[in-house]
Amino acid sequence: MTKVAVVEIDGCLASSAAITYDVLATANRISATKRARFEVTTLRYGPRRSSGHLRGVDLVIVPGLGSASADELELKLSSPACRRARDMLAAAFEDGAMLAASCASSFLLAETGLLDGKRATTTWWFAPLFRQRYPNVNLMTERMVVADWPIATAGAAMAQMDLMLAVVARFAGPDIAKGCANYLLLDERRSQAPFMAINYLASQDPKVARAEKWVRNNIARDFAIEDVAAAVGLAPRTFARRIASVCGVSPIQFVQRIRIETARSLLETTRLSVEQIAREVGYAEPSTLRRLIRRATRHSPRHFRSAG
């Protein structure tokens, strides 16, 4: 049996915590054996004190912190509750426990230093702050789950579902994880990319925001990355570093994201043909647009037309 401690920090995301308990309970319920696969305890960290202990725990799970903004998250990370939880996580890991966290809680794992030199993910809109605070972590923003055991991290709030399926697969086996997904009607989602709004990320840096606006204003043109960099007054290498820091992508991917996002909007809101839309967003060949949309979203253009 796997002994699991769920750490609820004051103000944590209620839905994230509920998903954690529901998936573990479902795994126990559908297990072919009479013995439960997971024994779950809860630890709560508040402004003044914490409850419980972590002796003999195999896995510690931290649901989302429930922070709505970067300023709120930074304030919360400096709170007594988070500092105590951070120290507890480091001690539990040293004692042999594995760790799992989603959304802003991945910041808490990074605070321990245990993610340095390792791969991780977090909610996509906090990615610029994460890169700034933890430059030694290999952040993979597009990934929904990075399960590099003994530590696993997941993306935005509802990625807790994906994290929990990874937990069940690791500790109870892929068949039970699949059973949980079927029982709870959970779809497998490998990437946050379809949900990432490039304009939101770009808005966090004035130069990148100007670049985004320039690309949108010139989207039908065949331009080079050097043209975008020059338009915002940056050398190409500096521009590439700035884009990577803020958006987690290369300049080419930055432009492609804007073009795909615009094409998707046109598919959903107009009756223009794919050939016409391709020209509208700067692609001479419709096949190029079809390929990029499928690669980015795992859907064909027709999917977005029917959804519009």
CATH of the domain at 23: 3.40.50.880
Question: Do 38 and 179 share a structural domain?
Answer: yes
Tell me: pLDDT of 75 over 90.
yes
Tell me: pLDDT of 157 over 80.
no
Give the chain's domain count: 2
Question: Do 34 and 142 share a structural domain?
Answer: yes
Confidence of residue 248 (pLDDT cuts 50, 70, 90): confident
Question: Do 20 and 133 share a structural domain?
Answer: yes
119: domain range? 2-192
Question: Do 160 and 67 share a structural domain?
Answer: yes
Question: Do 171 and 128 share a structural domain?
Answer: yes
Distance CA 140, CA 46 (A): 30
Q: Which of 67, 103, 107 is nearest to 86 (CA)?
A: 107
To the nearest whole number, what is the mean pLDDT of the chain? 90
Q: Which of 192, 197, 187, 189 is nearest to 265 (CA)?
A: 197
Q: Among 192, 214, 242, identify where a domain stops.
A: 192
Question: Do 155 and 43 share a structural domain?
Answer: yes
pTM greater than 0.85? no
Q: Among 173, 192, 211, identify where a domain stops.
A: 192
Write the CA distances from 26 to 130, 131, 169, 185, integer angstroms.
33, 36, 13, 12
Question: Do 293 and 255 share a structural domain?
Answer: yes
Question: Do 98 and 24 share a structural domain?
Answer: yes
pLDDT at residue 55, as a whole number: 78
Question: Do 232 and 167 share a structural domain?
Answer: no
Question: Do 182 and 205 share a structural domain?
Answer: no
Backbone angles phi, psi at 89, to 5 degrees: -60, -45
Question: What average pLDDT does range 258-264 have in this prediction?
Answer: 91
Question: Do 176 and 28 share a structural domain?
Answer: yes
pLDDT at residue 68, as a whole number: 84
Q: Among 177, 192, 207, identify where a domain stops.
A: 192
Question: Do 177 and 30 share a structural domain?
Answer: yes
Least confident of 143-147, 192-196, 205-209, 224-228: 192-196
